[in-house]
Structure formats: structure tokens, C-alpha cells
Amino acid sequence: MPQARSNRRQEPQAPPLSPSRLSSILVALALVAGAFFPHPALAQQAADAVQPEVGGATAGVRAVSAQHEMVVTAHPEASKAGLAMLEKGGSAIDAMIAAQLVLGLVEPQSSGIGGGAFLLVHDGASGRLVTYDGRETAPMAASGDLFIGEDGEAMKFFDAVIGGRSVGTPGTVALLAAAHRKHGRLPWAELFEPAIELADKGFAVTERFNALVAANAESLARFEATRKYFLSEEGVPIFPGTVLRNPAYADTLRAIAKDGEKAFYSGPIAEDIVKTIQAAEGNPGLLSLDDLAAYQVKEREPVCFDYRDAKICGMGPPSSGALTIGQILGMVENRDMAALGADNPESWRLIGEASRLAFADRGRYMADSDFVDMPAGLLNRSYLAGRAKLLSGGSDGGPVLTQNDVQPGMPPDDRTLLYADDQALELPSTSHLAIVDRFGTVVSMTTTIENAYGSRLMVRGFLLNNELTDFSFVPEVAGRPVANRVEPGKRPRSSMAPTIVYRGGKPWLAIGSPGGSRIIGYVAKTLIAMIDWKMDIQQAVGLPHLVNRFGTYDVEEGTTAEALAPALSEYGYRVEAKNLNSGLHGIMIGENGLAGGADPRREGVALGN
Ligand code: GLU
């Protein structure tokens, strides 16, 4: 029996790669690298850094172009399902729904109907940008001490995650239904056909699927329904190449296809969800039928800000994504990032320092604004210009900010003294979809069940999220409330950053990524790579990662980002080489068509016509 690795490891690891497969990939890369990566070392690495363990030989190697319509998702089957809807005359929303339902089957560790999502839609007909919040909610019975153990201390992260306690009211089904009512063209039930067919007929387990099951085997084995689906009787993870069927998921989808969202939020499916959560051995949860019945999708104002000639729009609270990215870009905007370039440690010092300062504000102020008064001035230009002065230390290669310098600022507002810093931890799973249809509608959606395999609870063929562990585990620090504390009905703060960028008043880019709180760094640097460093979308998503959230500089291991480590250490950072498993998926909308980029670190593909 393969040895199950610790369930604490969240970031997908490379399954073994055969030498022959590796060499065929390297040949493919060598062929395209010269033509598509004229940029020096780092950009060259954008091609070379393709981590072939997670994709096919051509996945993510070069931008895919199309004329009229395009779908980019984390799995070929999901991209195919989405494109099939577009080809039938469906809208980008129709394609998104079909793709999401397939993702819940073929990439179950990342997202699905047991989770939540944030959706940005630029509607081609009205030219309006709408954002939908399908984030999970805390049960009405939950309170600030949800994650405080019997000893009065905050629970350990995985003790809280695994089981019923962490499960928030899923928002994805309500989100799909709301989006379909507003922007759908094809009949609702038709969008379910690809996923139902694939669930009935089965799909081939990939190496990545197998490796992730193996990495989480111990926790997946704790609950019978989950164990039976992912592991053999002896606890062996399902093999690559196995055809995996999920008839329970097909039945669930048939019910929702027929009766709409009410088949999920009430009746037998809802009853099973609640029963599974409340009966979870060792760590039961509080979610009730009333919580499910009361779930509401919220349409919210987008958060938009200017960066050079671009207008960048994203998801506002309860996500911290757009606000934190806006702060980072706002702080580096008066620097000549284009002249500094992608290979210059000074570029990364500036991005890293701006990011640390933005994360300090995020920790102090950002949460579900329906529950906490957030300062209005977080993106105020003069506030950010003041914060940017803190970056001056190293403009000639001088020292970086000390931890004492990296404190939350005082954005122009009178509510800034209320809160203590957040203690929430986030780890990667999640999926991003970008879609453009021939009617000019653009979709950017980040979707999640939070941790890999969420709470590990499986019901009727789908996994339940652990989104509530995105709340702070402690409700207050030194007598001051934490903005992101648990409250009944509240949505946990997120880092998800589905983004749509406008140039010349027209949508120019849809982009986003998984990666927990590193999402913010992944998306911010992709925007800088495309806007300042003029990389094409595939170069930008493949560019090796350098991410700084709280002080340590994470550089992507096995890439040329590591070559910058000595210079960053000299500045005073503690540098750590890590597997930084983003899943950046995007579409650039040019004058002459569409270019799609899929992250070479995962299995995704861009498909279009
Ligand atoms: N739950 C996280 C969030 O909402 C996303 C997790 C991930 O990207 O892995 O920010």
C-alpha cells in the first residue's frame, strides 16, 4: 500500500515523471521557447518553468489564440464542456455553468457545488460590470468562539478543517442560478448535460488527481463516503488511468437540472447535507436546514482602481482580493517598473514591500463589510502615496522595511482604531475560470471549497467546503475585536481575486488564480508583467513566482526566481524556495482576437474558436 503522506501538505506535489515524458516535454518547450520568450532570464523561465507533472506536454506552453470565443479552465474536460455551450450559441455564463459542474467532478479537490465562488461578469449587451458574491455563510448558530477548543485556545488548523465545524452554507448553486437568470441564453437543464454524462460514463483519473488523493489519503479515509470514492478498501489511492464514475453526483445534478436551486437548498439533498455535517464524527458542525433555506447570493459593486492606462476591477468584501491588489499597485505606480524590468531585484523589493504593507492593512481592516465597518479610504490615492514613501529605503538597493515599519496604516476614515489584526490562515486549492463569448460578455470567476477536498465530507457525490476556517480563529486580541471574526450569517474573508481589466474603456483582460492568500501576489505580479513588462498572457502566467505576504520572501523553487534569492537576502529578507502552485487562467482581448493563457503548473487548457 502506498504510504499516505501527512494531510498537512496542501500544495500539490509532483507525481513521478517518467524520463521519456519529461524529454518530450522539454523538446516541445525548446521548440517554442525561442519564438515566444524574447525577454531575458525570468521571462525565458516563464517558458522553461513549465512544470510538466501537472499537465499534458503542450499545456500552458504558449498562448492559445482565437477569434470569437474562448474558455480557459483548470481541466480539459471543463474547458471542453464550456466551449460546447458557446458553440451552441450559449453565453459566457452558460459556458461557466457547464464548466463549473464538470470541475466539481474532475477537479473535486478544488471547487464544486458544495463550495462558494466570486463571479465578475462584463455584460456585452449593456457594457456593465456586475459582481456576484456566492461566498459561504456562517451558520446562524455559530459565534466568535466557533474555533476555540475546550482548553480555551484556538483549535489547530486541521482539527478545525476536517469534519462538520468548518462547513459554511454553500453558495455555488445559488450563484449559478442567479447568473443564469440574468445572463443565460441556453435552457438551464442543458448546461448540466456534459457533467451528468461524464459522471455516469466516468472520466480518466490523471496523475495529478492520484497524487493529490495520495497526499491527503489519511484525512480522506476518515469518512466513509469519501473513503469509498477516493480509496480502495485497503486505503490505496485511486490509480491514474482508472475510469472513475460518480453516479451519486449525476443524480444530484439531475435533481438540480430539473427543479433548480431549490432541489439543493431544501428537500432530500439539503437534509443529507445537514445530517452529514451534524453527524461528522469527532468534529460535528452547526449548519442547519434554515441556513440552507436562507442562503442569498449578493450582487455587489465592483472595486475598481486605475493603474497606468488600465482600469482594474475586482471583487470587493468579503474578498480582500481587489483591495489588496489595488494597494500594492497603487504603491508601486510612481516607480518606473517598466524600466526596472522583471529581472531586477529592485522590482521585487518594491513589489514585496508594497505587498507587506498591503497585507498589514488587510489583516487589520478587511472582512465582510455587511458586518464590520471597513475604512472607506483603503484605495485613497494620497493615502497610498503616503504609504509608498515607506518603500523609499531601498530604492538604491538599501535595506528593506523592518517588521516594526510594517504596520497597518490609518486610511482616511474614523473607524481605523476599532480592530485588532486577523489570525486567519489560508492554504491553496481552488480554481479560476476565464471565458469570453461572441456577444462580448466576459466572465472571470474564482471558485473554491477552500482547502484541498474541503472538510473531507462527501455527500451525494460532492465534497463540502471548509470555508469557515477562512475566519479568524480568535474573535479578539487584547480586548479589541478582530474584523474577520466569526459571526452568525457572516461570510469569511477571502483572498480570491477574479479580475477584469479595462483599457480604452473596453475589457482587455480576464484573470485570476487559486493559491490562498498568495492569490493576491500571483494576480498583482501578472498584471505588472502584462502592463509594465509587456509580456503576453502565457509568458505572464508562466513567469516564476516571487511572493511576499508577511516578510518572508517566497521564491518559486526550481525556477530562475531562485537566482534572485541572493540579492533579496542581501536586502535583508529571509528567502525561502517553495513549490508555489498557482493556477492563473486568463484571456486577453486584443483588437484582432483573443489570447488565452493556462497556468503550466496545473492541468488547465485554453480552448477557443
Ligand atoms: N479559501 C481561500 C479564499 O477564499 C481560497 C483558497 C485557495 O485559493 O486555495 O481566499
Give the distance (Å) from ligand 1 centre to CA of residue 595: 26
Best mutation site among 448, 471, 484, 493 for ligand 1 pocket (most ligand atoms within 8 Å of CB): 448
Give the distance (Å) from ligand 1 centre to CA of residue 287: 20
- Give the atom of ligand 1 at the shortest distance from the alpha carbon of 518: 8
- Give the atom of ligand 1 at the shortest distance from the alpha carbon of 470: 1
C-alpha of 530 from chain center: 20
Side-chain-side CA neighbours of residue 71 (13 Å)? 26
Q: What is the pairing mode between strands 64-66 and 593-598?
A: antiparallel
For residue 32, CA distances in Å to 44, 99, 263 come to: 11, 29, 49
pTM score above 0.85:
yes
600 pairs with which residues across the strands? none
Give the distance (Å) from ligand 1 centre to CA of residue 110: 9
Identity of the amino acid at 411? P
d(CA 177, CA 183): 10
**Ligand 1 close to Cβ of residue 428 (< 6 A):** yes
Nearest CA to ligand 1 atom 3: 494
**Ligand 1 close to Cβ of residue 448 (< 6 A):** yes
Best mutation site among 110, 359, 430 for ligand 1 pocket (most ligand atoms within 8 Å of CB): 430
d(CA 267, CA 422): 37
**Ligand 1 close to Cβ of residue 495 (< 6 A):** yes
- Give the atom of ligand 1 at the shortest distance from the alpha carbon of 467: 1
**Ligand 1 close to Cβ of residue 499 (< 6 A):** no
Identity of the amino acid at 87? E
Nearest CA to ligand 1 atom 9: 428
Side-chain-side CA neighbours of residue 121 (13 Å)? 29
Taking Cα atoms as reference points, which of 154, 74, 551 lies closest to residue 359?
Answer: 551
**Ligand 1 close to Cβ of residue 444 (< 6 A):** no
Query: Using the 8-state DSSP alphabet, how is residue 498 labeled?
Result: -
- Give the atom of ligand 1 at the shortest distance from the alpha carbon of 515: 8
**Ligand 1 close to Cβ of residue 514 (< 6 A):** yes
Give the distance (Å) from ligand 1 centre to CA of residue 112: 13
Whole-number pLDDT of residue 565: 96
- Give the atom of ligand 1 at the shortest distance from the alpha carbon of 427: 9
Give the distance (Å) from ligand 1 centre to CA of residue 109: 12
**Ligand 1 close to Cβ of residue 97 (< 6 A):** no
Q: What is the pairing mode between strands 129-134 and 298-300?
A: antiparallel
Best mutation site among 315, 450, 499 for ligand 1 pocket (most ligand atoms within 8 Å of CB): 450
Whole-number pLDDT of residue 59: 42
List per-block mean pLDDT (blocks of 10 residues) for the chain, which spans 609 residues. 30 34 34 33 44 33 88 97 98 98 97 98 97 98 96 95 98 98 98 98 95 94 97 94 97 98 98 98 97 98 97 97 98 96 95 96 94 92 94 66 79 58 55 98 98 97 98 94 96 97 98 95 98 96 95 93 95 92 96 95 94
Best mutation site among 426, 520, 547 for ligand 1 pocket (most ligand atoms within 8 Å of CB): 426
Give the distance (Å) from ligand 1 centre to CA of residue 338: 30
d(CA 101, CA 246): 13
**Ligand 1 close to Cβ of residue 45 (< 6 A):** no
Q: What angle do CA 299, 300, 302 make, to 5 degrees?
A: 130
**Ligand 1 close to Cβ of residue 496 (< 6 A):** yes
Dihedral, 273, 279, 285, 290 alpha carbons, nearest 10: 50
Burial of 241 from C-beta contacts in 10 A (0-12 / 13-18 / 19+) = exposed
d(CA 257, CA 118): 22
d(CA 309, CA 98): 34
Give the distance (Å) from ligand 1 centre to CA of residue 50: 23
For residue 459, CA distances in Å to 150, 270, 280, 462, 567 come to: 28, 10, 12, 6, 50
**Ligand 1 close to Cβ of residue 108 (< 6 A):** no
d(CA 288, CA 452): 24
Three-class HEC string of 567-600: HHHHHCCCEEEECCCCCCEEEEEECCEEEEEECC
Give the distance (Å) from ligand 1 centre to CA of residue 468: 11
- Give the atom of ligand 1 at the shortest distance from the alpha carbon of 10: 9
Q: Give pLDDT tens digits for 129-142.
A: 999 999 999 999 99
Best mutation site among 161, 362, 470, 523 for ligand 1 pocket (most ligand atoms within 8 Å of CB): 470
Cell of 552: 518572508
**Ligand 1 close to Cβ of residue 512 (< 6 A):** no
Q: What angle do CA 427, 244, 111 make, to 5 degrees?
A: 25
Taking Cα atoms as reference points, which of 50, 25, 107, 48 lies closest to residue 73?
Answer: 107
Nearest CA to ligand 1 atom 5: 516
Residue 282 CB: number of other CB atoms within 10 A?
A: 10
Question: Where in the sequence numbering do the catalytic residues fall?
Answer: 430
Whole-number pLDDT of residue 54: 27
d(CA 169, CA 296): 10
Query: Helix 247-259 vs helix 268-278: angle between axes, to the nearest 10 degrees?
Result: 130
Cis-peptide into 52, omega within 30 deg: no
Give the distance (Å) from ligand 1 centre to CA of residue 25: 30
